[in-house]
Structure 1
Amino acid sequence: MRYMLACLFLLAPTFASAQTIAPRDGWVVIATTKSYDQLVEDVLAATTANKMGVVTQAGPTGAAAARGITIPGNRVIGVFNNDFAVKILGLSTAAMIEAPIRFYVTEGDGGQATLAWKEPSHVFAPYMDEGGDALSDLAAQLDDRFTAIADMAVK
């Protein structure tokens, strides 16, 4: 009996199931009918089309597979551009810790992907006393830009 339980515990980490991202304060979450791979590709293309840059990409899916663990598609895509960076840095050095702002693409149990992100105005909210109305305006512009990227990517 102990042997069987030990085997179950050893096998348990080889598969992690998908979880739905629940709506939460300051986040936008969009379920799509697209596949994970297609949505990642479309987010990358929409980012460039909206004059933003892909600064970082990270996800545990490939590394987990190399370890024999199967998990659903999971990618974080950091998006920003130098124009926003220079302007924000001029308003709040501390606020730049938040750049790049990230899109999060996840794969659900049925293979359909979800796109989520924290709204830039939410991300930069802790720095508004320091950055003032100018930072608020830039964050609102970033909100619009991220919404445009998402709208294009999920179509």
Structure 2
Amino acid sequence: MRRIALALTLLASPGFADSIAPRDGWAIHASTKTYDQMIDAVKAAAAENQLGVVTQAGPTGAAKARGITIPGNQVIGLFNNVFAVRILGLSTAAMIEAPIRVYVTEEPDGTALLSYKTPSHVFAPYLDEGGTDLAAAAAELDALFAGVAEQALAD
């Protein structure tokens, strides 16, 4: 009976999935930093790039409280109220995409992967409403998010 319980426990315990594969509209960056270091680095870099941490969530802590160990996994929502007001004036529907999320995941070797959908990709479905002004705002956000990534990845 013990062997069956152990086998079921091992089968039910999630392991490491494959790394996030390249996909259209995503920026994916490997790093040498640990998961915790990357979370701290993203928050610091966001502040340096005039973006605030609006949301932060992930299943890792809750899984641990349930006795399940999973790789580090955190979604951090970043935005700036200046862009929020500006985008609202262009497309109310587009604001469902705010905050734009960055995704920090722990790799099997203990390093962190930093990923995010580029703002221009996120806001592309709303360009019929927001036009070139929305495209310009998204391009400005692209630059800010690239700056966050560059700073967060720096050693």
Aligned-residue RMSD, C-alpha:
1.4
Distance 2:144 2:119 in 1: 10
Distance 2:57 2:7 in 1: 30
- What is the aligned partner in structure 1 of residue 122 from structure 2? 123
- What is the aligned partner in structure 2 of residue 96 from structure 1? 95
Asked if 1:62 corresponds to 2:57, the answer is no
Distance 2:5 2:63 in 1: 21
Normalising by structure 1, report the TM-score: 0.95
Distance 1:61 1:6 in 2: 24
* DSSP 3-state at the match of 1:104: strand
Segments of 5+ residues of structure 1 without an aligned counterpart are: none
- What is the aligned partner in structure 1 of residue 30 from structure 2? 31
Q: Percent identity?
A: 60
- Are the equivalent residues in 2 in contact too, given 1:18–1:107 (CA < 8 A)? no
Asked if 1:84 corresponds to 2:60, the answer is no
Q: What is the identity, as a one-letter code, of the residue corresponding to 1:133?
A: T
* DSSP 3-state at the match of 2:89: helix
Deviation string 1:103-138 (CA, Å, 9 cap, x unpaired) is 000000010100000000000000000000000000
Distance 1:42 1:86 in 2: 27
Normalising by structure 2, report the TM-score: 0.95
How far is 1:10 from its partner? 3.0
How far is 1:8 from its partner? 1.2
* DSSP 3-state at the match of 1:142: helix
Q: What is the identity, as a one-letter code, of the residue corresponding to 2:109?
A: G
- What is the aligned partner in structure 2 of residue 51 from structure 1? 50
Distance 1:5 1:19 in 2: 28
Asked if 1:147 corresponds to 2:141, the answer is no
Deviates more, 1:9-18 or 1:132-141: 9-18
Q: What is the identity, as a one-letter code, of the residue corresponding to 1:141?
A: E
- What is the aligned partner in structure 2 of residue 74 from structure 1? 73
Distance 1:30 1:47 in 2: 16
Distance 1:35 1:141 in 2: 29
Segments of 5+ residues of structure 2 without an aligned counterpart are: none
Distance 2:67 2:7 in 1: 15
Asked if 1:10 corresponds to 2:18, the answer is no
Q: What is the identity, as a one-letter code, of the residue corresponding to 1:51?
A: Q
- Are the equivalent residues in 2 in contact too, given 1:13–1:69 (CA < 8 A)? no
